[in-house]
Amino acid sequence: MAQADTKAKSRPISPHLQIWRWGPAMFVSILHRVTGDGMAFVGLGVLLWWLYAVAAGPIAYDSFAAHAGAWYGKVVLIGLTWAFFNHMASGLRHFVLDMGAGFELKNNNLWSILTPLFALAATVTVWTVILLK
């Protein structure tokens, strides 16, 4: 009976941020939610403001451009670019996982690590091109 008790205690427990051992897949999953909800709250707002400014005319657009061109505006725009690429990469990873592929531990860890690295590289590339133009 004592042996059974020890076994019962070491059974897997539900995932939780504080007691779950961190792994690449968990990190990518959390980033997917953070970037997705971040883009939903901030990105769609910026998209609407931008479309409104282009539709409304030069005065409205100057006001948008003044904020977008300021340091905090650039932080938001670069952040949104990163969020877009990160969510895109982890979303494509989801498509593969949806087909039932890529669950082997080694493969899963590899693509989990490559996902955020791709997002960083793509963000740096895009903003290098924009800022050098």
Partner 1 sequence: MGNGTSIGRVRGLGSARHGAQHWLVQRYTAIGNLVAGLFLLFSLVGLGDYTQKGLHEWLHQPLPATMVGLFVVSSFWHARLGLQVLVEDYVHDDGNKFACMALLNILAFAGAAFGLLCVVRIALGA
- The candidate with the shortest Cα–Cα distance to 87, out of 51, 44, 52, 133, is 44
Site string for partner 1, 44-73 (x = CB under 8 A): x--xx--xxxxx-xx--xx--x--------
Residue 3 beta carbon to partner 1: minimum distance, rounded to whole angstroms: 34
Q: Taking contact as CB under 8 A, which single stretch among the options 2-10, 14-22, 32-40, 111-119 is the one that binds partner 1?
A: 32-40
Mapped onto helix, strand or coil, the DSSP state of residue 20 is coil
Residue 54 beta carbon to partner 1: minimum distance, rounded to whole angstroms: 5
* Strand ranges (E), 88-131: none
- The candidate with the shortest Cα–Cα distance to 17, out of 6, 39, 33, 5, is 33
For residue 103 the two structure tokens come to 């669950």
For residue 116 the two structure tokens come to 């955020």
Position 33 contacts partner 1 (CB under 8 A) = yes
Q: Contact residues for partner 1 (CB under 8 A)?
A: 33, 36-37, 39-40, 44, 47-48, 51-55, 57-58, 61-62, 65, 81, 84, 88, 91-92, 94-95, 98, 126, 129-130, 133
